[in-house]
Amino acid sequence: MKYPEKNHSNGFHNRKEIKFPYNTNSDWRNYLKIQLNEINEKSLEIDCHKWFLSCSDIQELKIILESRGHKLNFIRSQLPETVVSAFNVSLRAELTIEESQQDQKDPLQSVEIKKDNSHYPLFHQGTLRSGDRLESEGDLFVFGDVNPGAMVSAKGSIMIWGRLLGIAHAGKAGNSKAKISALQLIPLQLRIAEKIARGPEEKPLSGMAEQAEIKEGRIVINPLQTSEVITSI
Amino acid sequence: MAKETRVILICSGKGGVGKTTLTANLGIALARQGKKTAVLDADFGLRNLDLLLGLENRIVYTAQEVLEESCRLDQALVKHKQEANLSLLPAGNPRMLDWLKPEDMKKIVEMVSELFDFVLIDCPAGVEDGFKNAVAASKEAIVVTNPEVSAVRDADRVIGLLNSNGIKPIQLVLNRVRPKMMASQEMLSVDDVTDILALPLLGLVLEDEQVIVSTNRGEPLTLSGSNSPAARCYSNIVLRLQGEEVPLIDPSKEGSSIGDKFRRLMQTKIF
């Protein structure tokens, strides 16, 4: 009982990571403020697991932390969209897969990734030019354009924050649930699992993100629904 | 060395888009502004920069002899007959295809850099050995392309390779632009090309019959101070290369008739 204060503070005040509340319907702002009362560490990592945070949410999160004298250092999330939001406000972020969620029923989740945690999604920033090839053992995220003549492939789904003008092959090991989405989808060729489709003849309207998937044995392209991106991964 | 010599690679991937013509014209235009300029023909398998400059009959030695130390560098440099500031150095002899290595090219460019303000390297077409040699010796690059799908595709590939070799900056020259065809949307537009290649546009060069005439005569357009469309474009490029702000030619305003303008207006989407 020589240093009671120190014992008391151990593992609590020096915590570096804050986890968002498990209930995704609750108010994370209040929750966060209460958590912050008990933390001294300046630079913080936030795990927002299943929470979907937009760019403005993350900005708000940043401001809350900064008003309390903390610095938002890193974001972990199980949603690719939250990771994308974080990238867009130039934060470091990582997509994680939660172990306990692995055997959940969601039928749309891609098989390879669920069963093998080593196959993390691959993030690539920058334009892929003619002749370039990018392969992922899991999902693939490209922040930039995929130019004609370039090819991207993944065992899981492919999401392109830019234009897809080249060739994309999702579910290359045979996962026909994989999807390909892009801000502008004007590919030369799309491949999902064993199916191959030529790109559309006419240009789609710009400003409409689209998604390709297999429906009734054919590759079809539809306007992108945000909820679908989440379930596809 | 007090000043930094600019070593600029002029490449395209695809052949016949106008690398050599651009090299010759930029070389002459730079020299006319008093810059000591060397043009290096790295396309030694099928060399023709000497033809364009009208220097074919003056070549005695090449970079190869310099490296073998069988002649001095100043013996191999061919001074242009009218523009004393411009010299040509052929990289090699068409008969010897496999002597040159990236290190050789680096060495020769370093030697030439000592003597000049600008070194322009005329890169061979393709992305094989000749290209690799030329890239090894360069600091910055100008990618030449035409408003054609195949030329743009090859340029894209080349830009990727230049990027991975740390060449910076890379600028774009869009060659053989036909304003009428662009206006009637029969040709890729400037935006179509820059959209894909995502490079700063150093300049447009308008399609010009005078280029063919001057090529055959061995007197680059910029030499005579001609005021033909392409010549104006070349001199603008040279100014921009030295950091001057010169507005780009708007192909939609160049030589288009009222009919073209009206057609374009009809095709403009309102939304």
Q: What is the pTM of this model?
A: 0.68
Closest chain B C-alpha to A90 CA, distance in angstroms: 22
Nearest CA in chain B to A207: B271
A197-232, pLDDT tens digit by residue?
998 887 777 778 899 999 999 999 988 876 555 434
Q: Give the pLDDT band of residue A60 (cuts 50, 70, 90).
A: confident
Nearest CA in chain B to A163: B196
Tokens describing residue B58: 């003056």
**Does the model's ipTM exceed the 0.85 cut?**
no
Residue from the list B160, B163, B198 with its beta carbon closest to the beta carbon of A130: B160
Closest chain B C-alpha to A177 CA, distance in angstroms: 30
What pLDDT was estimated at residue B260?
53
Closest chain B C-alpha to A141 CA, distance in angstroms: 19
Q: Is it the case that residue A117 has pLDDT exceeding 50?
A: no
- Higher pLDDT among residues B36 and A112, named by residue: B36
Mutate to test the interface with A, among B128, B154, B156 (most CBs of A within 10 A): B156
Residue from the list B156, B163, B198 with its beta carbon closest to the beta carbon of A130: B156
Lowest mean pLDDT: which of A175-184, B1-10, B144-153? B1-10
| Surface-to-core class of residue B198, CB atoms within 10 Å of its CB (0-12 exposed, 13-18 middle, 19+ buried) | middle
Q: Whole-angstrom Cα distance, residue B137 to residue B106? A: 4
Q: Is it the case that residue A100 has pLDDT exceeding 70?
A: no
Q: Is it the case that residue A196 has pLDDT exceeding 90?
A: yes
* Residues from chain A contacting residue B150 (CB–CB below 8 Å): none
Nearest CA in chain A to B149: A148
Angle at B183 between CA A150 and CA B253, to 5 degrees: 120
Mutate to test the interface with B, among A127, A128, A130 (most CBs of B within 10 A): A130
What pLDDT was estimated at residue B97?
56
A154-163, pLDDT tens digit by residue?
999 999 999 9
Domain membership of residue B1 (yes or no) is no
What pLDDT was estimated at residue A48?
85
* Residues from chain A contacting residue B198 (CB–CB below 8 Å): 127, 145
> How many domains, in total, are found in chain B?
1
**Domain with B214 in it:** 6-267
Tokens describing residue B1: 């060395």
Question: Looking at residue B262, which CATH number applies to its domain?
Answer: 3.40.50.300
Q: How far is CA B133 from CA B67, B68, B99, B136, in A?
A: 15, 18, 11, 5
Closest CA to B126 of B8, B10, B11: B11
Residue from the list A132, A148, A165 with its beta carbon closest to the beta carbon of B160: A132
| Surface-to-core class of residue A90, CB atoms within 10 Å of its CB (0-12 exposed, 13-18 middle, 19+ buried) | exposed
What pLDDT was estimated at residue B130?
86
According to the 3-state scheme, what is the secondary structure of A47-115? Answer: ECCCCCCCHHHHHHHHHHHHHCCCEEEEEEECCHHHHHHHHHCCCCEEECCCHHHCCCCCCCCCHHHHH
Element (H, E) at B172: strand B170-177
Contact assessment for residue B229 and residue B211, using Cβ atoms and an 8 Å cutoff: no
Q: Give the pLDDT band of residue A118 (cuts 50, 70, 90).
A: very low
What pLDDT was estimated at residue B135?
93
| Surface-to-core class of residue B24, CB atoms within 10 Å of its CB (0-12 exposed, 13-18 middle, 19+ buried) | buried
* Residues from chain A contacting residue B159 (CB–CB below 8 Å): 129
Closest CA to B222 of B38, B24, B29: B29
Element (H, E) at A18: strand A17-19
Instruction: Point out which residues pair with B174 in neighbouring strands.
Output: B145, B204
* Three-class SS state of A28: helix
Domain boundaries, chain A: 4-96, 111-232
B198–A132: do the CB atoms touch at under 8 Å? Answer: no
What pLDDT was estimated at residue A115?
37
Residue from the list B160, B196, B198 with its beta carbon closest to the beta carbon of A131: B160
* Residues from chain A contacting residue B191 (CB–CB below 8 Å): none
Q: Is it the case that residue A114 has pLDDT exceeding 60?
A: no
Q: Who's near A212: CB < 8 A, 6+ residues apart?
A: A170, A179, A180, A181, A185, A190, A192, A197, A219, A220, A221
Closest chain B C-alpha to A110 CA, distance in angstroms: 32
Nearest CA in chain A to B155: A130
Closest chain B C-alpha to A171 CA, distance in angstroms: 26
Closest CA to B11 of B19, B22, B1: B19
What CATH number has the domain spanning A111-232?
2.160.20.70
- Mean of the per-residue pLDDT values for chain B? 88
Q: Whole-angstrom Cα distance, residue A95 to residue B177? A: 46
Closest CA to B52 of B261, B213, B259, B174: B213
